[in-house]
Structure 1
């Protein structure tokens, strides 16, 4: 069996999950390759970069385009400009992706040599109509957000579309966003109507349920397989030694991580406000990982900003240096950072978002707020520092290793691969 993982990005949370599975399959003796648009992460074996073929331009094409525009049959704007105009001025929250692109993954040699195609985060790259019309290979699709089965949104937060509407057509659409949603979902439905050999995998039960009830994926097998990680790397280390290596003081340490610290989805503003509850009661320091382009950390005198960290060994040290990892995400599926933290034995203090409560058991390996707001988070931080909960780091790490160790996850995916290949 030769598996091709298709991921638009080679960095970030979705890409990290895909890369870890890819490497796990290679360790298990499975012929696995990785196709991506990016070339940022060079630590990926059997990696291929997709390079689109330049479109041939002829005088005849130019004349046809000009005539269609003058007759009002076609927009004068480019393909992607026309898509942007369809939702111009509408709030799109964490982003909006259309199901049509100018790319054709099936032309790449890595696609042609594969026996099974494993899609990951492919928004803005996968062209639904052409891919599912041309593709003859079985497909496994791991969901990292709601976009694959939605009308374009990745998450509903901050938009005119509710989370419950995302996987379904909206009756009487009221604005351009809802109209584009219905139009795109219809395109996806038509593209998949004759395709049978597809299995859908969700890292969280939360996302699996939404996928299984969606218009697009309800007729396919929907599996739940959590993200995995290398528990020989992410494990407990001596905290005092790690703090010394990182140049940190030996005092209470809170950790916050986000690709972009000011991302509205990651909830840093709630964390900032919640710190008001503890700033006068204890001597603490903040350990922050991520880009701070908007200077969100200004005003903190007790912050150690590590910047963007890609090295996993350094990340394992960072988790071990913290007393708790604070995860106030407003929208999330099943974040790798959460698993990395508990694999290192560091408890997680989080909002009750997406699949997070599935992994974080209140009082055992972390704390879950009753509601996603600064007041609830501040109360938990205060109680945490007063010693209301005592966490056993070794026990937290042992339980995480049993559940999320990469070999366990790889075995689960191999079962799905064999099942979907039998449908061809």
Structure 2
């Protein structure tokens, strides 16, 4: 039995990716379960760690405790959730599902779910552990993305996220804790992108651990092409405009690069009157008062069917992230036949084949983003780019393709355990 551990269920990129893999494994015949603190939408084989109001309250207290631990040390509020000290968590080592599991599969486990002590107790059980990395946290001293700092290649210290960086700051101590944690465990690290795999193999903490690249998966029957005009009418959107989609968890997050998208669109203020923008995510209508072209703000969308409609309504999606692993939004849009323009960073260039199924723009260049928009508008008149985009997803990220790779990895991990037990 495979047990997936994730802070989130159907929230955030990592939570969505974890749940999609779990569901795909079930459909593929694997005995898969999830254990999550706070399940908002109950489903079979997904167990809520918080079995009462008191447990839910304790879960929230652990989240607050971890944030309060970091608060006096943070450089400023912009890094508040970009660093996880893993100082607070719960001991799940004796939970029935953990005890029954043949393989423990970790995903994103911060924000008070699992602390360093929690992980130590889990690893002490001696079960094989697979860890899908959704950012850099597993091999840094606490940051989720290093923002150009390369201390993790040798030893984290003098952390730029801290108000008072020091040789023995909390990044140093967490780095030391992780080094001890990884010493005696049957552990495989899975990175969804070659970019993150490369970093994992270079990082001092993880360079000697088993590391493989297996992308996230997507249901290509659900995320599929639809009738664009019919969907636009249904959503109350214009059928005679070119609609460019920006889908960000938070448009105010500098890492999402919204400012570059805005600059790129300024070039079309008077140049073209047929371009308008769709935006969904965490923001507010007043955020777009000064946007250079008309904006249709759709708010936060959590219903998957509604997301499919929005992707189909758009002519392209723009993902100007400055750091990203393997964005679900690109995969989802391309599965719906909506080409993507994204910066050459992280795993984005692996998803978009430049000048084939989309456009890879120069990092932090609004002009290059604009060039990508122009290219898709001209090249996709016959929908050839849309067709290529969907084919890329079917070939690379389909459930069948990804679950097969994970099943092979699970088998290897279990065989390693058996060999180790026989040897001892």
Same fold, judged at TM 0.5 (above): yes
Q: State yes or no: 1:418 paired with 2:411.
A: yes
- Deviation (angstroms), 1:312: 1.5
Whether the aligned pair in 2 keeps the contact of 1:352 and 1:372 (CA below 8 Å) is no
SS at match of 2:79: coil
**Residue 115 and residue 86 in structure 1: after superposition, are their counterparts in 2 closer, same or farther (change >3 A)?**
same
**Residue 325 and residue 171 in structure 1: after superposition, are their counterparts in 2 closer, same or farther (change >3 A)?**
closer
**Residue 349 and residue 130 in structure 1: after superposition, are their counterparts in 2 closer, same or farther (change >3 A)?**
closer
Question: Which residue in 1 is equivalent to 2:30?
Answer: 30
Q: TM-score, normalised by structure 2?
A: 0.86
- Distance (Å, rounded) in 2 between the aligned partners of 1:82 and 1:201: 29
Give the CA RMSD over aligned residues: 2.6
Whether the aligned pair in 2 keeps the contact of 1:229 and 1:405 (CA below 8 Å) is yes
Q: State yes or no: 1:254 paired with 2:244.
A: yes
Bigger shift: 174-183 or 197-206?
174-183
Whether the aligned pair in 2 keeps the contact of 1:348 and 1:366 (CA below 8 Å) is yes
Whether the aligned pair in 2 keeps the contact of 1:349 and 1:367 (CA below 8 Å) is yes
Aligned residue pairs, count: 396
Q: In the TM superposition, what are the counterparts of 1:307-322 in structure 2 within 5 Å?
A: 307-322=299-314
Unpaired runs of 5+ residues, structure 2, are 56-64, 418-424
- Deviation (angstroms), 1:81: 3.9
- Distance (Å, rounded) in 2 between the aligned partners of 1:83 and 1:264: 20
- Distance (Å, rounded) in 1 between the aligned partners of 2:159 and 2:67: 23
Of 124, 138, 146, which residue of structure 1 is paired with 2:128? 138
- Deviation (angstroms), 1:87: 4.1
Question: Which residue in 1 is equivalent to 2:5?
Answer: 6
- Distance (Å, rounded) in 2 between the aligned partners of 1:326 and 1:27: 32
Q: State yes or no: 1:207 paired with 2:196.
A: yes
Question: Which residue in 2 is equivalent to 1:362?
Answer: 354
Unpaired runs of 5+ residues, structure 1, are 56-77
Q: State yes or no: 1:264 paired with 2:254.
A: yes
SS at match of 1:256: strand
Flag the structure with larger Rg.
Answer: 1
Q: State yes or no: 1:225 paired with 2:214.
A: yes
Question: Which residue in 2 is equivalent to 1:75?
Answer: none
**Residue 145 and residue 173 in structure 1: after superposition, are their counterparts in 2 closer, same or farther (change >3 A)?**
closer
SS at match of 1:342: helix
- Deviation (angstroms), 1:388: 8.9
Residues 337-394 of structure 1, C-alpha deviations (whole Å, 9 max, x = no match): 1111111111101111100001101111111112323232233334544559865122
Q: In the TM superposition, what are the counterparts of 1:301-380 in structure 2 within 5 Å?
A: 302-380=294-372
**Residue 12 and residue 213 in structure 1: after superposition, are their counterparts in 2 closer, same or farther (change >3 A)?**
same
- Deviation (angstroms), 1:97: 0.7
- Distance (Å, rounded) in 1 between the aligned partners of 2:159 and 2:329: 37
Question: Which residue in 1 is equivalent to 2:154?
Answer: 168
Q: TM-score, normalised by structure 1?
A: 0.86
Question: Which residue in 2 is equivalent to 1:61?
Answer: none
- Distance (Å, rounded) in 2 between the aligned partners of 1:5 and 1:206: 24
